[in-house]
Structure 1
Amino acid sequence: MYHSACPDWHDPGSGASVYGADSLSSAAFAERIERFRSLDLSRALTGLILELEDLQRSTVSAETRYAMLRVLKRAVLHVAAALTTMRPVRCPTAGSPTPGPALSLEQRLYAVMASNCLHLLHELGRGHTGYADSLVQSRQWAVRNAFRFLGRQILCAIRASRLWPAGAWQSLHELFVYLVMRGSVRLHGDSLVLSDDAFDPESAYKQLLLIGLLAELVGPERLQSDTLTRLGVLAKDARLVESDGLVGEFGLILVEVSHDRPPRLRVGSLDDPFRGWVLRVPREFESLVTALEPTRRHRMAIAA
């Protein structure tokens, strides 16, 4: 329960960084983060953002970063749950997400959590020719939670009908490209090192691609929770294919990984190959678009 601030709360911005060395005991760190529960929601939210920003700038070892992020994640999820109960019901409005002055504090919290997970992932991969068995668990955790918190950023924008958060789509694309290039993901095949906890990075990526595409096509206000769940099912039948050989085809869905945006439907023909993939969606996705927005009659590239 988040309530009035306690006087002995450590303000992360008021003194020297606590992340300058690995000597901070895990028990002491966990106890300090636990104190956020005694704060009002606004101060807890701001304090966690500052903690995470401080950690990202730190030079602690990957093992210490992993341990601290696990503690911080629990606090972040507690704050997120409290925010959910306080979130106002969105009034439906037509059209694409509308501009906001900046990231909301909730989006900023998820953004810095995702950035820390990405930082950890790259640290764990630095200097290793392959994936050491001893690092598999922490790497899986970093990948799973990077997807999770990037997704939360995107879903926040949909709920509030705001513009896509700057950098979220670019980070998502770069994460997936990194996993493909490192051999952690084989498109339409078995995952090499991320399967023991039943988390599939390819399905997670494709679900977020479908969410972004559908929001662009029909407006974010039409994406209710049951629709998002359905897109998770449809993602398993969607396919990512190389653009080579597709020049001249119409109705392709382009996943341009060099751009900070969701997939886009190109109604006209594809003129040149590009850096990224073509997303072929199951026929049920096209039917869903038509049901939500009957005036749209564009043919899409259907998965084989």
Structure 2
Amino acid sequence: MYKNQHHAQYQIAAAHQAASHGRSPVNPREAGADSAPILARLHALRTLDSHRVLPELILILGQLPAAQLEVQARCHALRKLERAVVQVAAVLAPGPMGAPAGASAQRTTLRGGRRAALSLEQRLYAAMAHNCVHLLHELDHGQGFFSDDHARGRAWAIRVAFRFFSRELLYAVKAGSAWPAGAWLALHELFVYLVMRGSVRPHGESPTLDEDEFDPELAYKRLLLIGLVADLCGCARIDREVAARLRHLAADARLIASDGLVGESGLIVVDVGLDRPAQLKTGSLDDPFRGWVLRVPDAFHALLLFLDPFHHHRIAGAAEHRP
């Protein structure tokens, strides 16, 4: 049922955009009536242990996109569900990045594009992320007065969608498993959508979305770098310190158009039509693709040499570093 969770829920969201078209945000105090049955099901989960709660939460989230809800009621329900998802995830998540996760995980690399079926935890994260994308589409396709509540709901949906796509992908890094099927493609689709809506400007300074100063472009580039390092060096090399370092490096990385780069080698290619993270292209760029080239600072090249001193990964634009 959940093997193609990403694409199925994305199509559900698209199918129900038409039904939600024309709805305007309602007063948050009016949201309870529409979301009451969902919240009642959520309340009933309190009597179950965490391992029984997990599939029930997946079921609720899987059915939510098809529910006929006013957009503010949907947002209200998702906020409640987010708390439950976070609580369950805290109990069931794998250990911290870099911690032992079984003998086979210690030397796992994700090179070669292998794909894994989603674990229950990853299905939960995927379902939460896709419900947030669904909410975002409903907010953007609604008509009427766009109030502060609307803007806050939109910023919340984007931030939480990125948070749970991140959780789903980082679960694979922590567990030493292959990338979950559909995860990268869904993340790329969200980022491209934000670019098309003007919420992100890859070639300029992207605006932050709320008082928390969440930057979708920074979050996206951080995940791209984590995915690239996992593919090149192995996920066991990504501990908390490396992950924090990659976040800082992501702030200095740039997504640029591939125009004028034909024939150049050592490019980091972000093909948004493929279900994979950024890829280091060792040969020259000969064929057009849909996406960007990720330019990274020299410090990223130095980090790769530190993490994998036996391979010299040539990156275009980076100064020559020696181990």
Instruction: Give the secondary-structure state (helix, strand or coil) at the position aligned to 1:183.
Output: coil
Any stretches of 5+ residues in structure 1 without a counterpart? 1-21
Q: How has the CA–CA distance of structure 1 residues 251 and 112 changed in structure 2, closer, same or farther, with 3 Å as cutoff?
A: same
Deviation of 1:189 (Å): 3.3
Are positions 1:295 and 2:310 aligned together?
Answer: yes
Which of 139, 148, 158 is the aligned partner of 1:143? 158
| Alpha carbons 2:110, 2:232 under 8 Å: kept | no
Query: Could you say if the C-alpha distance between residues 279 and 36 of structure 1 is closer, same or farther in structure 2, counting changes exceeding 3 Å?
Result: same
Cα distance in 2, alignment partners of residues 273 and 101 from structure 1: 28
Q: Which residue of 2 aligns with 1:93?
A: 106
Change (3 A) 1:265 1:97: closer
Give the drift of 1:58.
Answer: 1.4
159-168 or 105-114: which moved more?
A: 159-168
Matches of 1:95 and 1:50, distance apart in 2: 31
1:138-160 CA distances to partner (integer Å, 9 max, x unpaired)? 11011001101011110111112
Q: Is the 8 A contact 2:165 2:183 kept in 1?
A: yes
Structure 2 CA distance for aligned equivalents of residues 95 and 260 of structure 1:
19
Is the deviation greater in 203-212 or in 23-32? 23-32
Aligned counterpart, 1:83:
92
Matched, 1:245 2:263: no
In the alignment, what sits opposite 1:64? 73
* Separation of aligned partners in 2, 1:125 and 1:198: 20
Superposition pairs of residues 11-50 of structure 1, within 5 angstroms: 24=33, 30=39, 32-50=41-59
**CA shift at 1:56, angstroms?**
1.9
| Equivalent residue number for residue 26 of structure 2 | none
Deviates more, 1:79-88 or 1:55-64: 79-88
1:83 CA drift (Å)? 1.3
Aligned to 2:288: 273
Question: Are the equivalent residues in 2 in contact too, given 1:34–1:75 (CA < 8 A)?
Answer: no
Give me the whole-angstrom Cα distance separating, in 1, the residues matched to 2:117 and 2:259: 38
- Looking at structure 1, the residues matched to 194 and 67 of structure 2 have their Cα atoms a distance apart, in angstroms, of 25
Aligned counterparts, 1:1-16, within 5 A:
none
Name stretches of at least 5 consecutive residues in structure 2 with no aligned partner.
1-30
Give me the whole-angstrom Cα distance separating, in 2, the residues matched to 1:49 and 1:133: 31
C-alpha distance 130-182 of structure 1, shift in aligned 2 (>3 A): farther
Question: Is contact 1:36–1:75 with CA below 8 Å preserved after alignment?
Answer: no
Please report how far the alpha carbon of residue 295 of structure 1 lies from its aligned counterpart in structure 2 after TM superposition: 1.4
Alpha-carbon deviation of 1:96? 1.8
**Change in CA separation of 1:30 and 1:89 when aligned onto 2, cut-off 3 Å:** farther
How far 1:81 sits from its partner (Å)? 0.8
- Once the two structures are TM-superposed, the CA of residue 285 in structure 1 deviates from its matched residue by 1.1
Q: Relative to total residues, which structure has the larger helix share, 1 or 2?
A: 2
Q: How many residues were matched structurally?
A: 283
Give yes or no for contact 2:95–2:174 (8 Å, CA) kept in 1: no
Answer yes or no: is the 8 Å Cα contact 2:152–2:210 preserved in 1: no
Contact 1:238 1:303 (C-alpha < 8 Å) held by counterparts? no
- Separation in 2, partners of 1:200, 1:258: 23
Q: What residue identity is the alignment partner of 1:298?
A: H
Do the aligned partners of residues 301 and 85 (structure 1) sit closer, same or farther apart at CA in structure 2, a change above 3 Å counting? closer
**How far has the Cα of 1:42 moved from its partner?**
0.8
Q: Does 1:105 align with 2:120?
A: yes
Q: 1:181, CA displacement in angstroms? A: 0.8
Matched, 1:200 2:215: yes
TM-score (norm 1): 0.85
The answer (yes or no) to whether the contact 1:26–1:67 under 8 Å persists in 2 is yes
Q: Quick one: distance in 2 between partners of 1:246 and 1:272?
A: 11
Q: Percent identity?
A: 53
Q: Taking CA–CA contacts closer than 8 Å with sequence separation of 6 or more, which of the two structures ends up with the larger relative contact order? A: 2
Partners of 2:144 and 2:42 in 1: CA distance? 35
1:154 aligned onto 2:169: yes
Higher mean displacement: 281-290 or 32-41? 32-41
The one-letter code sitting in structure 2 at the alignment partner of 1:79 is V
Give the Cα separation in 1 of the matches to 2:123 and 2:228: 23
- CA positional deviation for 1:132: 5.8
In structure 2, the partner of 1:16 is: none
Compute the RMSD of aligned alpha carbons.
2.6
Give me the whole-angstrom Cα distance separating, in 2, the residues matched to 1:276 and 1:127: 28
Farther off after superposition, 224-233 or 197-206: 224-233
- 1:133, 1:171 → 2: CA distance? 28
What do the CA deviations read for 1:194-248 (whole angstroms, capped 9, x no partner)? 1432100000000000000000000111111211111111110000000011011
Hey, which bits of structure 1, 4+ residues long, moved more than 3 A? 22-32, 84-89, 97-101, 127-134, 188-193
Residue 268 of structure 1: CA displacement?
A: 1.0
Does 2:227 align with 1:212?
yes
Alpha-carbon separation, structure 2, partners of 1:194 and 1:237: 19
